[in-house]
Amino acid sequence: MSGSLNKVLLIGRLGADPEIKQMVNGKSVARLSLATSQSWKDKNSGEKKEKTEWHRIVVFNEGLVNVVQQYLKKGAQIYVEGQLTTRKWKDEQTGTDKYSTEIIIQGYNSSLTMLGGGNNQMSNNQNNQTLEETSQASSELDDDIPF
């Protein structure tokens, strides 16, 4: 379809340490839980309000998975560019269809940037380092992704 775009840009903090899993093809995949928050002042009460959204980020590039595993920890602030994808699977216990919406970091149009801060244990020269995925990993999602 011409004239369409599937691009997601997020800045947030990791809510947990990254999960690294092995796919059935032997390659590694990283799963991140990213929190984005917005805050405002309630007009009636003057009370400060905050709303947090949680996003599932999936990284397929092997090199980037290794960097994620080595440098990213809970609380780290990151910037991601990726594509929104919804996958469907069948719950083995109930037999019902389940859906999961994720931001996929894969291909040339995706990136992950470590912004520093939080609980990052990195030196200053490693902060604000852009890690752009440059490999052309398979664009097919493996049905046996373990999460």
What class does CATH assign to 8-132? mainly beta
Q: Return phi, psi of residue 132, to 5°.
A: -95, 135
Q: What is the pLDDT of residue 30?
A: 97
* pLDDT at residue 99 in the model: 93
Which residue type, as a one-letter code, is found at position 7? K
**Could you say which residues of the chain have pLDDT below 50?**
118-147
Q: List Cα–Cα distances, 60 to 6, 43, 66, 73, 117, in angstroms.
A: 17, 44, 10, 18, 25
Q: Which sequence spans correspond to the domains of the chain?
A: 8-132
Q: What is the pLDDT of residue 117?
A: 53
What does the pLDDT read at residue 108? 81
Cβ pair 20, 29 in contact under 8 A? yes
What pLDDT score was predicted for residue 2? 78
Bridge partner list, 97: 90
**111: how many CB neighbours lie within 10 A of its CB?**
17
pTM over 0.75: no
